[in-house]
Amino acid sequence: MEAFGKLVERYQDRVFNTCWRICGSLEDARDLTQDTFLKALSGISDFRRKSGFYTWLFRIAVNMALSHRRKMKHRAAVSLDQATNPAGSQAERLIDRIEQAKTSDPSCEAQGAELQARAVGALYGLDDDQRAVVVLRDIEGLDYRDIAAILDIAPGTVKSRLHRGRLALRQVLVSPQRANEG
Amino acid sequence: MSGVDFDKLSEQLSAYLDGELSGRERAAVEAVLKKSEPARKRLAELKQVTSLVGALPRHLAPESIAEDLMKAAERIQLLDDNGRAGQAPGGGWRIGLGVLAVAAVVTLFVTVALQFGRSPGESLFGLPLASLDKGEGTAAEPHHLGEGPVGSQVTQSDDAWSAPRGRNGVADETRRRPHGKKAPDEVTSAAPHFWEIDLESEDLIALAAVANVTQKLTAGVDNAGLRAHQFSNESNVLSVAFADAASRGAAADRLVSDLVLHGSIDLAQSTEPPQNRDFYYHGNVDYNFDASDEEQILVHVRTSQLSRVLHEVGGSADSPADVRLQIGPIAARGYEPAQALIQIAQERYASGGDRKTTASLEEDAESSSTDQAVRRETLAGEAVLRDVVKVLAGKSEAPSESSVDMDDKAPSEQSEQEDAAEPDESSQVDAPVATGKGEERRRSKQKDSDRAVDEEDVPERTPLVERRLDTARKKKAQREGLRKAQDSAEEEPAPGAGAPWRQTPQPETRQADPTDDPYVTLVVRLLLKPPPGAKVPPSSRARPQNANDNSDAKPPSH
C-alpha cells in the first residue's frame, strides 16, 4: 500500500500535467490522472518489458486524455462551430482559443503573462495528434522514440507531426509579420 | 529553394533542434545553416516556439489525487482480503499471481463506481466508499470472489471500464464479508500487504511475468516476498554456482538458446499469455531481482526436457558439487544425483500413480485447507523416492559433496534457508577441477554407488526401486564399457570435451500421451560463487531500496 502511494507520488505530477495540457482542463486532468493509475493497476498483467513502465503509464494517460478530448469535442461540436469560423485556418482557430485560454487557465490568469496565454491557447488549438506530440516533446521532454512508443506511431511520424505542430504554433506565437515571411 | 524542399529542411531543423538527427543529417543541416539565412531564421522561430511551450507553467497534481487513489487501494485490499479467505495461504505458485487478483478487484471496484452511475470519463472518487461497508447498493446475483479462482472475474478486455460483470455482486459480496462490520482501517491494518510495487519498472515486469505463468489468480502477491524468495517458493529449483560472471552468462545464453531452439517462447516478449506450452522468463540482476549474485530463468517445460536443462546449465559448472536440484520436497546436490532425481520425477509423472511430487501440489493446494497439509502428504508420498535417491547418490558420500537432502522441511522453508546459506555453501565446497582429483573423486563415488547396486543394499524393494536398480545396473554397464574405451584411448581429453561428469542428456522421450509428460515450472538460479574467503551475509543480498527517490529521472527505456 505504501509502495503504491510512492508510485503515485512519483508520477502523478507528470501524468497530471500531460493530461492537463492535452485535454485543457484541470478538473478533467485530475480525473484522468486518477483513472490512469487505476487503469495501470488493472492492466498490470498486460505490461511487458518491450517498453519501460514510465512509457507504458504515459501511453495509458495520453490515450485516455485524447479519448476524453474526442468525447468532449463531439459534445461541444455544435457550440464550437457556432463560436468559430468553420472555414477558418488552424491559425485562426488557435487565436480564438487564446481568448478562451485566458479565462480557462488559472495559471495564466494569475501570472498575467500574455505570451504564455497565447502559447496555451495556441497549444489547445492544435489538432489532437499534433498537440499530443508537442506536449510530450516540448513539455515533458521525451525523445522521439519514447513518444513513438507512447502514441504507437513511427518515429518518423513523430518528427513530421511535431514539425507541423510547431509551424502551427509559430503562426500564432511568432510575430505574424515574421511568420508570414516564412 | 522550392517550397517542398524548404518544408523538408524545416522538418529537419525541427528534429535538429531536438537532437534527433543522425551525425550525417546533422552535418548536412549545419552546412545549410551556414549558407541560408531563411534556414537560420526558421530555426530561430522554432526555437522560440519550443521555448515558449516548454516554459508553460506546470501544476502540481492535487493532493486529493493521491488520497483518493490510496482509498481505492485500500478498498482493493479489503476485497482482496475477502478473496484470500477461500484459499490456502502461502504457496510458491501464488507469488506474484495476485497481480491479476488486483486487476480483478480493481475491475470490480470500477464496476461499483459504474453502478453508482458514473461514466468512464468521470471521476470515480466521488464514490462514497464507506457506503459499501454499510451495505448500500443493490443486491443481485452472487459474486464468487473467494469461492473460486479470482481469475474467472478478470475481463480479458483491455478496457476495464467495459467490464460489467459482477457489478452488483460486489456490493452484495462486500456486505457478506465476515469482517464487514469492522472499521476499514482496522481491517486493512490487520491484513497483510498483498501487494507492493517497487518503483523500479523491472519489478513490475517480474510481477507481470509471474502473473502470466499459470494465469491463476490468487490473492497474496507480495513484491517484497517476490524479491526475497527469488521465485524460490516454486517447488522446483535448479541452482548452479559459477566462478565468474562470464561463465554464468555463457550458461544462461546457452540455456536460453536451447530453449528457443526447442520452441520455448520468451514470456516477456510474448503477446499472448502462454497457456500449456514451453516458455521461459529470463530475469537478470539488472532487472527484477535483488540479489546481485544471481540470474534467474524461469522455465516451463515438460518433465522430459528437464535433463536437457540440467545439462545446459549444470554441465558448465566447474564442479558437479556446484549443482543443486530441488524437485518438490527433495533436493539433490551434485550433477548425477540431480540427473537421477529428474529421471525419478519423470517416472513418477509418467507412472500416473502417486503424482504428488510437484506439479500436482498446485492442484492439491486448491482443494486443501493448508499448503502445509499438502506438503506433509507429499512428503509421505515421497518416502520411496528418498530411498531410491539415497541409493543412487551413494550413502557413503560426504555431506558437502554430492548428496541428497532429505529434510522434511516444507519446500518454502528449505528454500529460504538455502537462499541465505547458498553462497556460503558454495564457498565451502572444495571444488575439484574438472580432471585429476575431481575425476578420482567422482570415480570413487561411482564405485560406492555401484557397490550399493551390486550388493542390492536397498532398504525397501518396491517396483519403483526395482526399476531404478535396473536403470542403475544398465548405467553401470555402460560406464564400465566407456571406462575401458577411455583407458585404451589417449590420456589427453579430446578438444572441446567437457568435464567427465558432464554427460550428454538422454534423448527426450516424449510420451505418446502428453498428459503423461506434464509441464513443470523450474526456477534455474545461476549463482556466482563469492571470492575465496568472502562471506556474504544474507542481508547484503538485498538491493538498496530507492523507494524514497522521487526524482523525475526517466526510467531506462528498453
Instruction: Kindly state the average pLDDT of the residues B446-462.
Output: 46
Residue range B202-239, pLDDT digits in tens:
334 444 444 433 322 222 233 333 333 334 345 678 88
From the list B38, B56, B548, which residue is nearest A139 (CB)?
B56
**Lowest mean pLDDT, pick from B79-83, B312-316, B516-520:** B79-83
Our measurement of the distance from residue B294's CA atom to the centroid of its chain's CA atoms, rounded to an integer in Å, reads 13
| pLDDT reading at A111 higher than 80 | no
**Lowest mean pLDDT, pick from A35-49, A102-116, B137-151, B311-325:** B137-151
**Residues 112..131 of A with a Cβ closer than 8 Å to B: which?**
115-116, 119-120, 123
Residue range A129-138, pLDDT digits in tens:
899 999 999 9
Percent of chain A residues topping a pLDDT of 90? 19
Which three-class secondary structure state does DSSP give residue B199? coil
B313, B237 contact by CB (below 8 A)? no
From the list A3, A9, A162, which residue is nearest B197 (CB)?
A3
Instruction: Kindly state the average pLDDT of the residues A99-124.
Output: 66
pLDDT computed for residue B440 by the predictor? 52
From the list B20, B110, B123, which residue is nearest A31 (CB)?
B123
Residues of chain A positioned with their CB less than 8 A from the CB of B76 = 41
Is the model more confident about A133 or about B82?
A133
Which CATH number is associated with domain A2-177?
Answer: 1.10.10.10
Interacting residues of B272 by C-beta distance below 8 A, sequence separation 6+: none
pLDDT computed for residue A173 by the predictor? 83
Percent of chain B residues topping a pLDDT of 70? 30
Distance CA B59, CA B38 (A): 37
B57, A116 contact by CB (below 8 A)? yes
**Closest residue, chain A, to B15 (C-alpha):** A159
B393, B332 contact by CB (below 8 A)? yes
- Interchain CB distance below 8 Å, A42 and B106: yes
| pLDDT reading at B162 higher than 80 | no
Distance CA B319, CA B315 (A): 9
Instruction: Kindly state the average pLDDT of the residues B466-494.
Output: 57
pLDDT bucket at B532, cuts 50 / 70 / 90? low
| pLDDT reading at B362 higher than 50 | no
Q: Which of B201-210, B261-270, B326-335, B502-511 is the most confident on average?
A: B326-335
B517, B230 contact by CB (below 8 A)? no
Distance CA B26, CA A124 (A): 31
pLDDT computed for residue A83 by the predictor? 47
Is the model more confident about B94 or about A157?
A157
Phi, then psi, of B51 in degrees rounded to 5: -65, -45
Q: In b/e form, how buried is each residue of B349-382, taking b as 16+ CB within 10 angstroms? A: bbeeeebbbbbbbbebbbebeebeebbeebbebb
pLDDT computed for residue A27 by the predictor? 87
pLDDT computed for residue A62 by the predictor? 92
pLDDT computed for residue B28 by the predictor? 92
| Residue of B56, B118, B187, B270 to mutate, testing the A interface (most A Cβ within 10 Å of its Cβ) | B56
Comparing CA positions, the residue from B385, B412, B442, B21 lying closest to residue B220 is B412
List the grid coordinates of B307: 535433463
List chain A domain ranges. Answer: 2-177
pLDDT bucket at A24, cuts 50 / 70 / 90? confident
Instruction: Kindly state the average pLDDT of the residues A49-60.
Output: 75
Average pLDDT, chain A: 75
pLDDT computed for residue B500 by the predictor? 45
Q: Which helix (H) or strand (E) holds B549?
A: none
Task: Establish if A174 touches chain B: CB-CB under 8 angstroms.
Answer: yes
Helix H, strand E, coil C: the string for B459-473 is: CCCCHHHHHHHHHHH
Residue range B411-451, pLDDT digits in tens:
333 333 333 333 333 333 233 333 344 445 555 545 544 44
- Triad A124, B555, A134: Cα angle to 5°: 15
Phi, then psi, of A18 in degrees rounded to 5: -65, -45
Instruction: Kindly state the average pLDDT of the residues B377-400.
Output: 44
pLDDT computed for residue B247 by the predictor? 85
List the grid coordinates of B33: 545553416
- Residue B148: DSSP 8-state: B
Interacting residues of B444 by C-beta distance below 8 A, sequence separation 6+: none
Diameter over CA atoms, chain B: 98
Which three-class secondary structure state does DSSP give residue B236? strand
Is the model more confident about A114 or about B342?
B342
A134, A22 contact by CB (below 8 A)? no
- Interchain CB distance below 8 Å, B558 and A49: yes
pLDDT computed for residue B69 by the predictor? 79
Is the model more confident about B300 or about B495?
B300
- Residue B409: DSSP 8-state: S
**Closest residue, chain A, to B38 (C-alpha):** A182
pLDDT computed for residue B43 by the predictor? 92
Distance CA B104, CA A130 (A): 35
pLDDT bucket at B530, cuts 50 / 70 / 90? confident
Average pLDDT, chain B: 54
Instruction: Kindly state the average pLDDT of the residues B366-381.
Output: 40
| pLDDT reading at B509 higher than 50 | no
From the list B65, B99, B207, which residue is nearest A33 (CB)?
B65
Number of residues that this document lists for chain B: 558
Instruction: Kindly state the average pLDDT of the residues B395-410.
Output: 36
Task: Establish if A102 touches chain B: CB-CB under 8 angstroms.
Answer: no
The residue with cell 551413494 is B394
Distance CA B183, CA B133 (A): 9
- Interchain CB distance below 8 Å, B53 and A9: no
- Interchain CB distance below 8 Å, B65 and A38: no
pLDDT bucket at B94, cuts 50 / 70 / 90? very low
Percent of chain B residues topping a pLDDT of 90? 5
Instruction: Kindly state the average pLDDT of the residues A89-108.
Output: 54
**Closest residue, chain B, to A110 (C-alpha):** B57
Amino acid residing at B541: R
pLDDT computed for residue B31 by the predictor? 93
pLDDT computed for residue B527 by the predictor? 83
Interacting residues of B140 by C-beta distance below 8 A, sequence separation 6+: B167, B168, B169, B172
Is the model more confident about B394 or about B43?
B43
**Lowest mean pLDDT, pick from B87-96, B99-108, B494-503, B511-520:** B87-96
Instruction: Kindly state the average pLDDT of the residues B493-510.
Output: 46
The residue with cell 554456482 is B241
List the grid coordinates of A166: 510547431
**Lowest mean pLDDT, pick from B156-165, B249-258, B520-529:** B156-165
Cβ burial of B247 (10 Å; 0-12, 13-18, 19+) is: middle
pLDDT computed for residue B12 by the predictor? 92
| pLDDT reading at A139 higher than 70 | yes
Measure CA of the first residue to CA of the last residue in chain B; give whole Å: 40
pLDDT computed for residue A10 by the predictor? 79
B96, B215 contact by CB (below 8 A)? no
From the list A37, A38, A49, which residue is nearest B268 (CB)?
A49
What DSSP assignment string belongs to A111-140? HT-HHHHHHHHHHHHS-HHHHHHHIIIIIT
Is the model more confident about B361 or about B82?
B82
Taking the CA of residue B214 and the nearest CA in chain A, the distance in Å comes to 12
- Rounded to the nearest 10 degrees, the angle between the axes of helix B463-488 and helix B335-351 is 140
Residues of chain A positioned with their CB less than 8 A from the CB of B196 = 1-4
| pLDDT reading at B54 higher than 70 | yes
Is the model more confident about A174 or about B129?
A174
Distance CA B556, CA A54 (A): 9
Q: Give start and end residues of each alpha helix (H) in B18-36.
A: 23-35
| pLDDT reading at B95 higher than 50 | no
